[in-house]
Amino acid sequence: MASTIKLLGSQTDLASATTVGEATVVRVLATAAGTITQKAAAGGATLGTIQMLANTEIVLAKAPANTLQGGATFKVVKIAYSN
């Protein structure tokens, strides 16, 4: 069965650190290869990184205050989903 996503905001990029509207689940599209960094709140400790290949997408869970950053080639949107 296919997953269903519900858009909860407008798409933006990761050129600067963002909570993506205090999202707990985000869809990430990489238009070029690169690395995304997740931090505990703005300027907080690095919680993790993920390397993405060009033209790939993932669904990422995070705490509302955690920020993501990776560059303008990463497109993100706040979502909800179900299976």
10-44 pLDDT tens trace: 999 999 999 999 999 999 999 999 999 999 987 78
CA 11/CA 70 separation, integer angstroms: 15
Question: Domain ranges in the chain?
Answer: 4-82
pLDDT of residue 2: 55
Average pLDDT over every residue of 61-73? 96
Angle at 61 between CA 32 and CA 3, to 5 degrees: 85
pLDDT of residue 1: 45
CA 50/CA 8 separation, integer angstroms: 23
pLDDT of residue 24: 96
pLDDT of residue 43: 78
CATH fold for domain 4-82: Jelly Rolls (2.60.120)
Is the pTM value of this prediction over 0.85?
yes
